[in-house]
C-alpha cells in the first residue's frame, strides 16, 4: 500500500497475507480432514492471532467455512475434488485494515469499521448464495456441520467470503504492473458478493465523518424501527427547521419504467418496473386487455386476493418450491448414492439467473408492487446545528406539507419516511447549521426479519426409482444387474494401505491411495462406497475395463440426473486389485508428486485442456499436487 492509498500488484502485502504462511498453516489440516459438503471450523486463538496480528474480534470472526465438492467437467463427465475456504467479511476487512496508510504519528488515515452487530443485510425466505465459491449467506439451514451461533445471522460482516474471491478480485483489477485504488478493489469485492447473493442487496462503503470510518452498508435494506422513527416538526415555534425544499426526482429512467409498467403484469419478477402500475389502475388496454401469462392466472388471482404479505409469499413459494429446491440441491445437497457434493462450475451462471428471478418474484409478492411504488423526491433541510444524525438513518416529518397521496392512510401498513443520504455542518459568525439531504421511501410498519428457510431444510436430491437393464446401457451384457442395488460400504485408510503395500508394493500403493483420496467420498478416515465395494465410481456403461474383478453391476442416477451403470466387486480386496492393475497400466509412480500429477492429468483424468493443466505451476496442476501431498501425508502416518 503506498501513501496514496493504492494497492500494489499481485505481489502486495495484502495478496501475500491472503496466501500467507499463517493462514496456510491454519487451513491445511482443516482442508485435509474435511469431507464433502459445507462445514465450519473454529480457529484457535493462537491461529487467529498469527493471521490477524491481534486477538481482537476473535470470538466474532474465528470461524472458517470449508465448502468441499466434486467439480464436474461437462466435457468428459469426470469430477475433480475442489474446495474453497471462506472467512467472514468482517475478518477480511480486519485484514484489510492492517494495510491502510498511516500518518506521521502512526495512526491510520482512516479505518473500516469491523464491529459485527451494527449493519444488517436485506434477506428473503430461501435466501442462499448461488455461487458458494464466492460467498455464503450466514443463514445456514441445510444439512451441514456448522456451529449454531453462525446459522442465523443477518449482519453484513457475518457473510462468509472465499479467500479465492478476494485474490481473484485483486488479480482481475491489476494488470501489467499497474496499481488499483483500495476503493475500487473493495467495490468490486462487494459487487461479486452481491451477485452471488441473488442481486437483492446493494453493498456499498459509507463514510462516517465523525468517526473517520468507513462501514459496509446495504442500500437496499432499511431497518424497521422497534419504535416510531424520529419526527421533525416543520411548522411551529418549537421547530429547529430553518428551511425545507422538496425536489422531484422524476429521471429519464423512471419515465421509462412508467412506460414499461403500462405493458407489464403487476405480479411478474420485474418488480422495479411494474411497481408503478398503480398509475394505470382502472385502465384497460384496448389491444391487450390481459397482461402476463395465462398459465399463471390462478397464482396471480391468489396473490391479488390476499392483503397479507406472509400469505402472498407463502403462495409464491408453494408455486415454485419444486424448481427452487432442485436448484438449491444442486449446490448444497450431497448425492444420495455416493454421499459426495457434485456440481459443475459451468452451471453457476444459470443457477444465478434462476435464483435472481425467484427473489424478484418473492419481492413482488411480498410488497404487492402495484400498490407500493411512489414517485420519488429528495428532501433538503437546513436545521439549527444538531449532532447525532448519521447517514442511512431515517426520520419522518409533518405530513401536512406532503402531497395528499403521500400521507399515511388508516387502512394501510406503510408510511412515508426519509433516509438520510447526506449531512453537512457549517459554523459561521451567525451560528452552527446542519444541512440534511434525504431520499423518500415507504416504510412497511409490519415488516419483520425473515426467520425461516424451510426449502433449505427439506430438500434432497432425487434418488433412482429403481434399477435394471431397461434403465442403463452397459458394456457388460453378460453381467447381471442387481436390483435393488447393494448396500453402502466403508473402507478404512489403514486397511487399504496395508493391503496395497503387502500385495502391490510401496510405490504402486501410494499411487492408488492418492487416486482414491482424490476421487472417492471419504469421512472419518474411511473411503465410502455407494454399493458393491466400488469406491471410485467405476462405471460399466461405456467400455470394458482391461482388468479383472467386476462380478456384477447396478443402475443408479448420477449427480447429473443421468442413469448410469456401476460396477460391483466381490470385496474391497478385489476392488483394490482392480485399481492397482489399472494404475500400473497407466504408468503411475507413487514416489514422486510431479510425476503422479502429470500422469493423473494426462492418462487418468484426461480433460480437454490437459496440455494446459499439465504445466507445472498452473492452478489445476497445483491443486492436484496438493491432493497428492495430503494423501501421502496420511499414507505415511498410517504406514
- Confidence (pLDDT) at 267: 46
User: Could you tell me the pLDDT band of residue 223, with boundaries at 50, 70 and 90?
Assistant: low
The rounded distance, in Å, linking the Cα atoms of 255 and 250 is 7
Mean pLDDT, rounded, for 198-224? 82
pLDDT, tens digit, 9 for 90 and up, residues 497-541:
999 999 999 999 999 999 998 887 776 688 888 788 888 888 888
Mean pLDDT, rounded, for 69-93? 74
Half-sphere exposure for 394 (CA within 13 Å, toward CB): 22
Confirm if 378 and 410 have CB atoms less than 8 A apart. no
The rounded distance, in Å, linking the Cα atoms of 560 and 302 is 35
End-to-end CA, the chain: 47
- Confidence (pLDDT) at 353: 79
The better pLDDT of the pair 371, 495 is held by: 495
- Confidence (pLDDT) at 395: 87
Reference 534, options 518, 552, 547; nearest CA is: 552
Question: Helix, strand or coil for residue 397?
Answer: strand
Mean pLDDT, rounded, for 93-98? 88
Confirm if 596 and 516 have CB atoms less than 8 A apart. no
Question: Is the pLDDT confidence value at 335 over 90?
Answer: no
| pTM as predicted | 0.59
Lowest pLDDT segment from 138-152, 157-171, 208-222, 487-501: 138-152
Neighbouring CB atoms inside 10 A of 38's CB total 24
Question: Is the pLDDT confidence value at 334 over 90?
Answer: no
- Confidence (pLDDT) at 161: 93
User: Could you tell me the pLDDT band of residue 598, with boundaries at 50, 70 and 90?
Assistant: very high
The rounded distance, in Å, linking the Cα atoms of 67 and 366 is 32
Neighbouring CB atoms inside 10 A of 545's CB total 17
Mean pLDDT, rounded, for 407-423? 72
Confirm if 69 and 162 have CB atoms less than 8 A apart. no
Averaged pLDDT score across all residues of the chain: 75
User: Could you tell me the pLDDT band of residue 33, with boundaries at 50, 70 and 90?
Assistant: low
In order of 21, 310, 486, 495, the CA distances from 575 in angstroms are 39, 54, 15, 13
Mean pLDDT, rounded, for 382-408? 81
Mean pLDDT, rounded, for 190-194? 93
User: Could you tell me the pLDDT band of residue 616, with boundaries at 50, 70 and 90?
Assistant: very high
Question: Is the pLDDT confidence value at 70 over 70?
Answer: yes
Q: Which residues contact 619 (CB under 8 A, 6 or more apart)?
A: none
Grid cell locating 140: 445456514
The better pLDDT of the pair 220, 243 is held by: 243
Amino acid at each position: 500500500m503506498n501513501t496514496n492509498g493504492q494497492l500494489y500488484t499481485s505481489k502486495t502485502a495484502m495478496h501475500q497475507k491472503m496466501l500467507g504462511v499463517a493462514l496456510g498453516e491454519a487451513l491445511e489440516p482443516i482442508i485435509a480432514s474435511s469431507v464433502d459438503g459445507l462445514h465450519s471450523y473454529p480457529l484457535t486463538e493462537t491461529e487467529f492471532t498469527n493471521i490477524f496480528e491481534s486477538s481482537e474480534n476473535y470470538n466474532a470472526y474465528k470461524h472458517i467455512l470449508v465448502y468441499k465438492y466434486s467439480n464436474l467437467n461437462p466435457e468428459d463427465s469426470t469430477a475433480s475434488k475442489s474446495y474453497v475456504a471462506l472467512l467472514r467479511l468482517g475478518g477480511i476487512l480486519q485484514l484489510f485494515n492492517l494495510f491502510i496508510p498511516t500518518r506521521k504519528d502512526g495512526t491510520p488515515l482512516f479505518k473500516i469499521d469491523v464491529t459485527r452487530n451494527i449493519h444488517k443485510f436485506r434477506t428473503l425466505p430461501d435466501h442462499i448464495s448461488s455461487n458458494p465459491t464466492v460467498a455464503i449467506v450466514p443463514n445456514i439451514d441445510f444439512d451441514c456441520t456448522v456451529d449454531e451461533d453462525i446459522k442465523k445471522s443477518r449482519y453484513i460482516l457475518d457473510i462468509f467470503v472465499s479467500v479465492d474471491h478476494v485474490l481473484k478480485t485483486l488479480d482481475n483489477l491489476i494488470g501489467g504492473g499497474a496499481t488499483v485504488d483500495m476503493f475500487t478493489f473493495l467495490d468490486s469485492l462487494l459487487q461479486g458478493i452481491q451477485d452471488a447473493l441473488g442481486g437483492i442487496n446493494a453493498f456499498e462503503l459509507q463514510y462516517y465523518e465523525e468517526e473517520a470510518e468507513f462501514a459496509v452498508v446495504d442500500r437496499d435494506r432499511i431497518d424497521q424501527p422497534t419504535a416510531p422513527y424520529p419526527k421533525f416538526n416543520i411548522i411551529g415555534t418549537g421547530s429547529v427547521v430553518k428551511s425545507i425544499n422538496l425536489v422531484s426526482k422524476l429521471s429519464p429512467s423512471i419515465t421509462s419504467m412508467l412506460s414499461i409498467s403500462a405493458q407489464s403484469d403487476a405480479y411478474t419478477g420485474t418488480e422495479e418496473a411494474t411497481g408503478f402500475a398503480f398509475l394505470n389502475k382502472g385502465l384497460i388496454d384496448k389491444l391487450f386487455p390481459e397482461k402476463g401469462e395465462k398459465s399463471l392466472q390462478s397464482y396471480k388471482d391468489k396473490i391479488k386476493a390476499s392483503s397479507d404479505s406472509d400469505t402472498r409469499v407463502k403462495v409464491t413459494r408453494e408455486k415454485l418450491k419444486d424448481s427452487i429446491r432442485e436448484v438449491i440441491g444442486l449446490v448444497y445437497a450431497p448425492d444420495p448414492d455416493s454421499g459426495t457434493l457434485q456440481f459443475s462450475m459451468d452451471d453457476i451462471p444459470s443457477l444465478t439467473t434462476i435464483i435472481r428471478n425467484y427473489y424478484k418474484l418473492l419481492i413482488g409478492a411480498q410488497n404487492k408492487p402495484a400498490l407500493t411504488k411512489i414517485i420519488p423526491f429528495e428532501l433538503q433541510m437546513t436545521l439549527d446545528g444538531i449532532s447525532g444524525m448519521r447517514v442511512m438513518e431515517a426520520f419522518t416529518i409533518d405530513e401536512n406539507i406532503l402531497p395528499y397521496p403521500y400521507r399515511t392512510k388508516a387502512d394501510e401498513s406503510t408510511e412515508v419516511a426519509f433516509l438520510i443520504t447526506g449531512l453537512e455542518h457549517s459554523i459561521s459568525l451567525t451560528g452552527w447549521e446542519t444541512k440534511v439531504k434525504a431520499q423518500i421511501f415507504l416504510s412497511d410498519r409490519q415488516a419483520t426479519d425473515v426467520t425461516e428457510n424451510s426449502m433449505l431444510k427439506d430438500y434432497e436430491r432425487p434418488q433412482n426409482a429403481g434399477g435394471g437393464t431397461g434403465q442403463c446401457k452397459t458394456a457388460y451384457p453378460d453381467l447381471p444387474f442387481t436390483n435393488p442395488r447393494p448396500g453402502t460400504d466403508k473402507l478404512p485408510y489403514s486397511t487399504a494401505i496395508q493391503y496395497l503395500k503387502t500385495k502391490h508394493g510401496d510405490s504402486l500403493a501410494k499411487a492408488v491411495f492418492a487416486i482414491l483420496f482424490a476421487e472417492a467420498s471419504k469421512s472419518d478416515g474411511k473411503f465410502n462406497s455407494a454399493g458393491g465395494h466400488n469406491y471410485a465410481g467405476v462405471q460399466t456403461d461405456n467400455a470394458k475395463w482391461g482388468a479383472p474383478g467386476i462380478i456384477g453391476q447396478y443402475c443408479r442416477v448420477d449427480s447429473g440426473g443421468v442413469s448410469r451403470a456401476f460396477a460391483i466387486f466381490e470385496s474391497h480386496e478385489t476392488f483394490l486389485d482392480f485399481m492397482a492393475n489399472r494404475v500400473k497400466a497407466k504408468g503411475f509412480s507413487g514416489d514422486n508428486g510431479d510425476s503422479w500429477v502429470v500422469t493423473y492429468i494426462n492418462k487418468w483424468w484426461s480433460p480437454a485442456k490437459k496440455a494446459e493443466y499439465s504445466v507445472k505451476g498452473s492452478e489445476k496442476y497445483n491443486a492436484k499436487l496438493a491432493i497428492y501431498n495430503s494423501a501421502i501425508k496420511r499414507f505415511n502416518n498410517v504406514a
